[in-house]
């Protein structure tokens, strides 16, 4: 038996413990029911549940969901378009989101995956100050995919 202030009250029967808790105006809560003998504590259970809910709410508020944003490139992308897409990707990485970079190969482009790989490597190099390559460029069907993750601030 543990008191409301955390002090050990010793071993006693369930009736005695319940009577003691009622006398002090608190609840009797089983902490370790499988122990021999079971461990009980005198506490204000309503207040305890309120504090637990408050802690959970605070934890949820501080929690941030990481999204995956997608950037689509083409095989023969121009310099200006490439720079614009890179700036968007860097903004996403700065906000703490992951970036999925994809190139769709159409028709005869399927015969030149090395050009797509060069474009992907150049893109990863451009974004290297804010993000690191989480999953390197790899062909999956007609698409080449690469994942960038934001670098953690230290």
**Residues 84 and 51 both lie in one domain:** no
Confidence of residue 148 (pLDDT cuts 50, 70, 90): very high
**Distance of CA 135 to CAs 1, 19, 54, 71, Å?**
55, 63, 38, 15
Give the Cα separation of 81 and 92 in Å (integer): 17
Into how many domains does the chain fold? 2
CATH number, domain with residue 137? 3.30.110.10
Reported as a single tens digit per residue, the pLDDT across 111-126 is 888 999 999 999 999 9
pTM value surpassing 0.85: no
Cα gap 135→130, rounded to integer Å: 16
Q: Are residues 76 and 145 in the same domain?
A: yes
72 and 58 both lie in a single domain: no
Structure tokens of 98?
């992951």
Q: What is the pLDDT of residues 24-80, one digit of tens each?
A: 889 988 888 888 888 999 998 899 899 999 999 888 887 777 788 999 998 888 999
Residue 86 is part of which domain span?
Answer: 68-150
pLDDT band at 153 (very low <50, low <70, confident <90, very high): low
């Amino acid at each position: 038996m543990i008191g409301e202030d955390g002090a050990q009250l010793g071993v006693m029967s369930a009736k005695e413990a319940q009577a003691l808790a009622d006398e002090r105006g608190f609840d009797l809560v089983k902490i370790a029911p499988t122990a021999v003998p079971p461990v009980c504590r005198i506490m204000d259970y309503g207040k305890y549940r309120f504090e637990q809910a408050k802690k959970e709410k605070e934890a949820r508020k501080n929690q941030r969901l990481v999204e995956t944003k997608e950037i689509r490139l083409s095989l023969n992308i121009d310099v200006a378009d490439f720079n614009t897409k890179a700036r968007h990707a860097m903004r996403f990485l700065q906000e703490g989101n992951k970036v999925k970079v994809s190139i769709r190969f159409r028709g005869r482009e399927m015969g030149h995956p090395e050009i797509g790989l060069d474009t992907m490597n150049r893109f990863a190099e451009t974004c290297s100050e804010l993000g690191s390559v989480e999953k390197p460029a790899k062909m999956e069907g007609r698409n080449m995919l690469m994942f960038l993750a934001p670098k953690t601030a230290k």
